Amino acid sequence: MKLELVRIGNSRGIRIPKPILEHCRLVDAVDLQIENDRLVIAPARKPREGWEEAFRAAGASHQDELLMGGFSNQFDQDEWQW
């Protein structure tokens, strides 16, 4: 589909036909990216969208261990109550 660029102030824009908006589920906001010299328009994602599913998919591990330890100090040992 070929579309004409329209002037919007000092910028240019396109009018996206309603069937394409509906098919791609574009509502109020979009994410724009450039990939291989192409403009990619995708539905905007909420912050941390999909994180919960990703954590569940990763599964629990009984072999989890701290990667960095030894941050305890005298205050932690004497005064802090857990």
How many angstroms separate the CA atoms of 69 and 2, rounded? Answer: 58
45 pLDDT tier (thresholds 50, 70, 90)? confident
């102030």: which residue's tokens? 9
Delineate the domains of the chain, giving CATH numbers in brackets.
Answer: 1-45 (2.10.260.10)
> Is pLDDT of 64 > 70?
no
DSSP class of residue 23 equals: H
Instruction: Provide Rg for the chain, Cα atoms.
Output: 24
Task: Check residue 80 and give its pLDDT.
Answer: 74
């070929």: which residue's tokens? 2
pTM: 0.52
